[in-house]
Amino acid sequence: MTKYLPIFLWLSGLKVKSIAVTFSKLEETLGFELPNSARTHRAWWGNERIPHRHTCCRAWLDAGFETRDVNLGLETLVFHKV
């Protein structure tokens, strides 16, 4: 998860039930651009804990959040505490 540790740390520090974010906010937090697949494939934002899943997914799941309402056109999503 090292590459996406900033998302884990940011989400872990939140005291909210859910938060709407833009892809650009996540890129600002990370310090680099999300991969193209994050903008073109809704599955990239999936919440499944399966082997070999990309490390970004583990960052939000390990922080206790799931993604919801992913809008690829507007480049927004909601992180919801589970």
Domain extents for the chain?
A: 2-81
| 60 strand-pairing partners | none
The pLDDT of residue 36: 96
The pLDDT of residue 60: 95
Distance CA 55, CA 59 (A): 6
pTM flag (> 0.85): yes
Amino acid present at 60: W
Distance CA 73, CA 13 (A): 28
Q: Which residues of the chain have pLDDT under 50?
A: none
Residue 57, number of CB atoms within 10 A of its CB = 20
What does the angle CA 34 – CA 38 – CA 66 come to, to the nearest 5 degrees?
100
Amino acid present at 78: V
The pLDDT of residue 34: 96
Under a CB-based contact definition with an 8 Å cutoff, are residues 30 and 40 in contact?
Answer: no
